[in-house]
């Protein structure tokens, strides 16, 4: 199966497949006489694994680890769980940070009239005084 077909079946771009191979995430694909990469069902399976992991936000390094565990029939599920949980924690942290951003931003947006007048709490919030001390009385 050509790289394009494998890509379509796995839900990953051909470009990315070559990239994954280049960075050593995947073993070099088999080649036909014409140098075309040749993929079998099990390769597609692996690519699909990568695609799903990416879609869950795992980093390439994490995926590298997960792939190794996946290939090892005797891995302890403990190790897989550890990787996944670490990433989940990471995700939750980032979500929290973004929610804080969004909260602050929403507050600013909510206080802005959004009309033709120049007064704008958003810009004031961004450019305002750094410390609450030197506010003139």
Partner DNA sequence: GCTTGACCTTCCAACGGTGGGAAGGTGTAT
Partner DNA sequence: ATACACCTTCCCACCGTTGGAAGGTCAAGC
Contact positions vs a copy of itself (CB under 8 A) = 9, 11, 45, 48-49, 52-53, 55-57, 66, 69-70, 73-78, 80-82, 84-85, 87-88, 91-92, 94-95, 98-99, 101-102, 104-106, 108-109, 112-120, 122-123, 125-127, 130
Shortest gap between Cβ of 16 and DNA (angstroms)? 5
Return d(Cα 28, Cα 7) in angstroms, integer.
Answer: 15
Structure token digits, residue 11 = 């839900």
Shortest gap between Cβ of 79 and a copy of itself (angstroms)? 9
11 Cβ partners below 8 Å, 6+ apart? 48, 51
The binder of 65, among DNA, a copy of itself, none, by C-beta within 5 to 8 A per type, is none
CB 6 within 8 A of CB 43: yes
Beta bridge partners, 38, equal 30
Return d(Cα 43, Cα 135) in angstroms, integer.
Answer: 65
Give kind and range of the element (H or E) at residue 2: none
Shortest gap between Cβ of 7 and a copy of itself (angstroms)? 14
The binder of 99, among DNA, a copy of itself, none, by C-beta within 5 to 8 A per type, is a copy of itself
Give the binding site for DNA (CB under 7 A).
2-5, 13-16, 18-19, 29, 32-37, 54, 59-61
């Amino acid at each position: 199966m050509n790289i394009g077909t494998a890509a379509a079946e796995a839900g990953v771009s051909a470009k990315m497949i070559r990239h994954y191979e280049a960075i050593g995430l995947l073993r070099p694909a088999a080649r036909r006489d014409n140098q075309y990469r040749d993929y079998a069902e099990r390769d597609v399976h692996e690519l699909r694994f990568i695609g799903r992991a990416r879609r869950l936000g795992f980093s390439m390094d994490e995926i590298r680890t997960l792939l190794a565990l996946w290939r090892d029939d005797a891995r302890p599920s403990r190790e897989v769980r550890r990787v996944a949980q670490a990433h989940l924690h990471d995700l939750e942290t980032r979500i929290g940070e973004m929610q804080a951003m969004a909260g602050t931003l929403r507050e600013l947006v909510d206080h802005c009239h959004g009309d033709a007048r120049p007064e704008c709490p958003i810009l004031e919030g961004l450019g305002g005084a750094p410390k609450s001390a030197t506010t003139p009385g």
